[in-house]
Amino acid sequence: MSTSKKRVAILFGGRSTEHQISLLSAKNVVDALDLDKFEPVLIGIDKKGRWHLNEGAMQLMHADDPGKISMQNETNVVLLSQNTNEHQLIKTDNFEEVGKIDVIFPVLHGTYGEDGSVQGFAKLANLPCVGCGILGSSIGMDKDVTKRLLRDAGIPVANFVTLRKNYNDSMSYEEIASILGKELFIKPANLGSSVGVSFVNDQAGFDKALAHAFKYDPKVVVEEKMTGREVECAVLGNDFPKASAVGEVIPKSSFYTFENKYIDEGGAVLDIPAKLTQQEVERIQELAIETYRLLECEGMSRVDMFLTPEGKLYINEINTIPGFTKISMYPKLWEISGLAYKDLITTLIELAIESNDNRNALVQADTEQ
């Protein structure tokens, strides 16, 4: 195997409640990796946070069943050397060096992967890391912070109230309904994939949904129900990001649930490209890029919006590590835009290397002063 190939550490699994979705996404990323340019180094992270080197192939059980997929072999525990010149993986049982890595590709959804944690680890190690950096990742993970930043910048978002589990600022359903309306969505502030999300329209449902959301996060966002089409746009790039074609999600239930997104392929219709006017497409693409830049994103993100019957756009949320499963919107949007899955993965790795090189050039320039 050519030594010129970059060794790409693909991280999957993780401590998040979105562990299984990460396994599904990573399987597709590995399959799409250009083996003429890159050598995959497969690292499964178990639910306790330990790194397991998968030698040869991803070691999964029930790999084709989204509801049962799991890591199979939890041996070969490794650590990454913090020597910023070598980046060696080291086995914990005998301290054997098992090869260096050149790039980290975190296919980790939710907390401890998409929230700036792994991105900070990579920055400390001076390793290129695919996707957003520390700031963009942590902002994008927190729905409350994201919405406040967008709102303060004049970008429309659904009206919302933030509640904290251990603060004395609890509000009743009646109080919140008087501000936001009777139909509400309750969401953990720092989770994705619709985990912990509920739709409510009365006090009993509100109390039950709030208790459920607080199991996942001490901070919960309560939003008004938006009426409109759910449209999504993929963004790719660093200093000069580009927007993809626009897709529309048409859920068959009251909202786009976890099951709709990842398990039930018939749970929603993904209309790609969405049936929109050219003017609507351009407005969505412009707002997606504006949101991406405002929230300090780089590499990739998927921007989700509502398009109301009156033609107004509202940002719903941003996903800094969007799904890469076979039914995920992000790669499908780029494919319809003319960028094949394999080329998308290559571009993401190249963007990570570019970003890290630019950062190192700044550090070098500062050192020389």
Q: How far apart are CA 96 and CA 55, in angstroms?
A: 15
268-271 and 242-251 strand pairing: antiparallel
**pLDDT at 54 exceeding the cut of 50:** yes
Q: What confidence score (pLDDT) does residue 19 get?
A: 86
Phi/psi at 29 (5° precision): -65, -45
pLDDT in tens, 245-293: 999 999 876 655 555 555 556 667 899 999 999 999 999 999 999 999 9
CA dihedral 179, 182, 186, 192 (to 10 degrees): -100
Q: What confidence score (pLDDT) does residue 160 get?
A: 97
**pLDDT at 138 exceeding the cut of 80:** yes
Tell which residue, 255, 257, 254, 235, has the closest CA to residue 246.
235
From the number of C-beta atoms within 10 Å of its C-beta (0-12, 13-18, 19+), residue 211 rates as exposed
301 Cβ neighbours under 8 A, 6+ residues apart: 132, 136, 140, 234, 235, 292, 295, 318, 319, 320, 322
Q: What confidence score (pLDDT) does residue 367 get?
A: 54
Residue type, 152: D
Asked if residues 157 and 180 have their Cβ atoms less than 8 Å apart, the reply is no
Q: What confidence score (pLDDT) does residue 207 get?
A: 94
pLDDT in tens, 20-53: 888 888 889 999 999 999 999 999 999 899 999 9
High-pLDDT (> 70) share of the chain, %: 89
Residue type, 237: G
Asked if residues 274 and 231 have their Cβ atoms less than 8 Å apart, the reply is yes
pTM exceeds 0.75: yes
High-pLDDT (> 90) share of the chain, %: 67
Asked if CATH classification 3.30.930.10 holds for the domain at 6-129, the reply, yes or no, is no
203 Cβ neighbours under 8 A, 6+ residues apart: 172, 173, 174
From the number of C-beta atoms within 10 Å of its C-beta (0-12, 13-18, 19+), residue 43 rates as buried
How is domain 227-338 classified at the architecture level of CATH? 2-Layer Sandwich (3.30)
Output b/e per residue, 6-16; b: 16+ Cβ within 10 A: ebbbbbbbbbb
Q: Fold match between 6-129 and 227-338?
A: no
Which H/E stretch holds residue 185? Answer: strand 184-188
Q: How far apart are CA 199 and CA 218, in angstroms?
A: 19
**pLDDT at 350 exceeding the cut of 80:** yes
Residue 66 preceded by cis peptide, ω within 30:
no
Q: Where are the domains of the chain?
A: 6-129, 159-224, 227-338
pLDDT in tens, 161-175: 999 988 756 788 999
Q: What confidence score (pLDDT) does residue 318 get?
A: 97
Q: Residue 85: how many CA atoms within 13 Å on its side-chain side?
A: 0
- Distances in Å between the alpha carbon of 339 and those of 7, 266, 275, 320, 336? 23, 25, 20, 19, 7
Which fold does the domain 159-224 belong to in CATH? Dna Ligase; domain 1 (3.30.1490)
pLDDT in tens, 179-202: 999 999 999 998 876 778 999 999
40 Cβ neighbours under 8 A, 6+ residues apart: 7, 8, 10, 30, 33
Q: What is the DSSP string of 71-138?
A: E-----EEEE---TTT-EEEETTT--EEEE-SEEEEE--STTTSSSHHHHHHHHTT--BSS--HHHHH
The mean of the pLDDT values for the chain is 89
pLDDT in tens, 66-125: 666 777 766 788 888 877 677 889 888 888 888 899 999 999 988 889 999 999 999 999
Q: How far apart are CA 105 and CA 127, in angstroms?
A: 10
Q: How far apart are CA 252 and CA 267, in angstroms?
A: 6
Q: What confidence score (pLDDT) does residue 136 get?
A: 98
Q: What confidence score (pLDDT) does residue 81 get?
A: 81
Residue 2: pLDDT band by 50, 70, 90 thresholds?
very low
**pLDDT at 127 exceeding the cut of 50:** yes
Asked if residues 287 and 305 have their Cβ atoms less than 8 Å apart, the reply is yes
Q: Is 148 helix (H, G, I), strand (E, B) or coil?
A: helix
